[in-house]
Amino acid sequence: MTQIISGQPSVINAKLPFFSFPFSFILIIAMEKPYKHIAKYYDLLIPDLWYCKWYKFAEKVLRRKKINPSLIVDAGCGTGRLTNLLASLGPAIGFDRSAEMLKIARKKYPHIKFIKKSFLDFCLPDEKRADLIVCAFDSLNYTSTVAELRQIFKNFYNQIREEGCLLFDLNGEKAFAWNKKLIKNTRTFKFDSTIVIWNNYFYPRHWKAIFEIQKPTKKGTAVVFTEQHEEFYYSPKTILKILSETGFSHFQVYGDTAFHRPSLKNKRYFFVAQK
């Protein structure tokens, strides 16, 4: 028998093995905000190849636009892996709303400045402006409304110097289910004695992930931390319309980091918007 409750942890008697732990008692922790617990394992779940491709994409855009950046901003920087790569192209800073992710970033890359801010309240200090803002790995898909997305783009626009660029990606329609039935898939990872279960639930134009982090205790019990992530679909047409309304003068959308034309087969779209 299992349950998720709010408030304090609850002890639940389980006569049968729970998940992968054959323990008699399970401590279930309430559903937490995104990256509260998964931050510790994030770098183990995401391959280096993704970061390398994004870095090369940013480098090529800067070269094509003939921009020699004096400041690069990594929006939604997470644990700082991409920020560190971008720093080889010019001075870089990162910001994120997750204190847990930033704690790891600051420890790994003490030479880089990381700031705790959201997409909406981020503002560069001392009236500085960025030559490049990067928002990678479908971070903007966490935005639940068009109105909020428009506000975010406007804030980014205000932080970019003239002729500077905003680069970002979004999950495309192939990343979401397009029928009335709920589709689920589950991936399981084991890190030493800790098990991470990644449950994906796909709805039309909506995706939800629930992470379960199972940790054994010295008393022969297991503690299960849970957190929920939600993403929302926006069509490239909608995004380009918002970029135009926000004030960006030039923008392109690609099907991958190799600058290929987008198609309905793409799971992810990559955008370049220039002020």
To the nearest whole number, what is the mean pLDDT of the chain? Answer: 87
Gap between the Cα atoms of 167 and 172, Å rounded = 16
pLDDT (0 to 100) of residue 203: 83
How far apart are the C-alpha atoms of 137 and 77, rounded to whole Å?
10
Tens of pLDDT, residues 218-230: 777 788 899 999 9
pLDDT tens for 32-48 read 889 999 999 999 999 99
Q: How far apart are CA 21 and CA 250, in angstroms?
A: 54
Cα 190 vs. chain centroid, distance in angstroms?
22
Global model pTM greater than 0.85: yes
Query: Which of 172-181, 215-224, 250-259 shows the lowest per-residue confidence on average (mean pLDDT)?
Result: 172-181
For 148, residues 6+ apart whose C-beta sits below 8 A from its C-beta are 120
Higher pLDDT, 130 or 267: 130
Q: What percent of the chain has pLDDT over 90?
A: 72
Cα–Cα–Cα angle for 32, 156, 151, rounded to 5 degrees: 65
The mean per-residue pLDDT over the stretch 177-194 comes to 79
Q: Are 171 and 231 in contact, with CB atoms under 8 Å apart? A: yes
User: What is the CATH T-level fold of the domain 43-174+235-274, as seen in this structure?
Assistant: Rossmann fold (3.40.50)
Assign 154 to helix, strand or coil: helix
Which range in 9-18, 59-68, 183-192 is most confidently predicted, on average pLDDT? 59-68
pLDDT-derived band at 2, boundaries 50, 70, 90: very low
Break the chain into its structural domains and give their ranges. 43-174+235-274
* Pairwise CA distance, residues 133 & 90, whole Å: 12
* Distance in angstroms (rounded) separating the CA atoms of residues 219 and 149: 47
Average pLDDT over residues 181-198: 87
Could you say which DSSP state residue 247 is in? Answer: T
Amino acid identity for residue 248 in this structure: F
pLDDT in the model for residue 232? 95
Q: Is the separation of the CB atoms in 274 and 65 below 8 Å?
A: yes
pLDDT for the residue numbered 30:
67
Q: CA 170 to CA 231: how far, in whole Å?
A: 10
pLDDT at 29: 67
Mean pLDDT for 96-120 is 97
**pLDDT score at 14:** 32
